[in-house]
Structure 1
Amino acid sequence: MSQENVADKLLWKVVGGGAVAAAAFVAKKALDGSWRAATGNPPPNNPEDPDVAWKEAIGFALLSGAVIGLAQLVAARNAAKYWRHRRGALPPGLRDVG
């Protein structure tokens, strides 16, 4: 494996991973605010806590999974699109997945 290939893989992990982490952070903040506005209550700190009602725990888990997952997908795709635009090829290993 060439030194350039190793550097590209490392750089992609930083760029792609950073984009996904930032998207998850922003999505979580937006989700918490939306939950508070919709329900009038703060989001559950830990939906696994038996003191949290099942309805609330399931609702929050489904909503947070969908919102954060979608935000991460959008961020990863946009990071890959940016990489391809700047580098002329998809990020290392992206075609190898799936």
Structure 2
Amino acid sequence: MADKTEKQDLAWRAIGGLAGLVTAWAARKAIGFAWEKTTGKKPPADNESLDIGLGEAIGYAVVMGVGMQVAQILVARTARRRYDAWKALRDAAREVTA
């Protein structure tokens, strides 16, 4: 049977995974919107297409990569802090009622 710490780790993995998916979706939408407002063009749908200039394809890839990573770091750290605070509060409540 799984012990308590293993269950908590599973809970964090589920929360972290869900936060990562939502963050990736939201960051992609936000970066695409910012790209369109900044350049006046839609984001490249296919960076391998020869219809898109090399500079534009590389620029979009760099902006998207950095933006996505920064967003995921910020959300993961915030989610972890909140999860740890919730876990500490829960454990303190269990000690009081025990």
Q: TM-score, normalised by structure 1?
A: 0.81
Q: Which residues in structure 2 correspond to 1:1-98 (within 5 Å)? A: 2-88=2-88
Q: What do you get for the CA RMSD once the two structures are aligned? A: 1.5
SS in 1 for 2:35: helix
Structure 2 counterpart of 1:92: none
Question: Cα deviations across residues 39-96 of structure 1 (Å, max 9, x unaligned)?
Answer: 11100012132332101111000100111100000011011101110112xxxxxxxx
Greater C-alpha radius of gyration: 2
Aligned equivalents of 2:36, 2:73: Cα separation in 1: 25
| Mapped contact 1:27–1:71 kept (Cα < 8 A) | yes
What's the % identity of the aligned pairs?
32
Aligned equivalents of 2:39, 2:60: Cα separation in 1: 11
Structure 2 residues without counterparts, runs of 5 or longer? 89-98
Q: TM-score, normalised by structure 2?
A: 0.81
Structure 1 residues without counterparts, runs of 5 or longer? 89-98
| Stretches (4+) displaced over 3 A | none
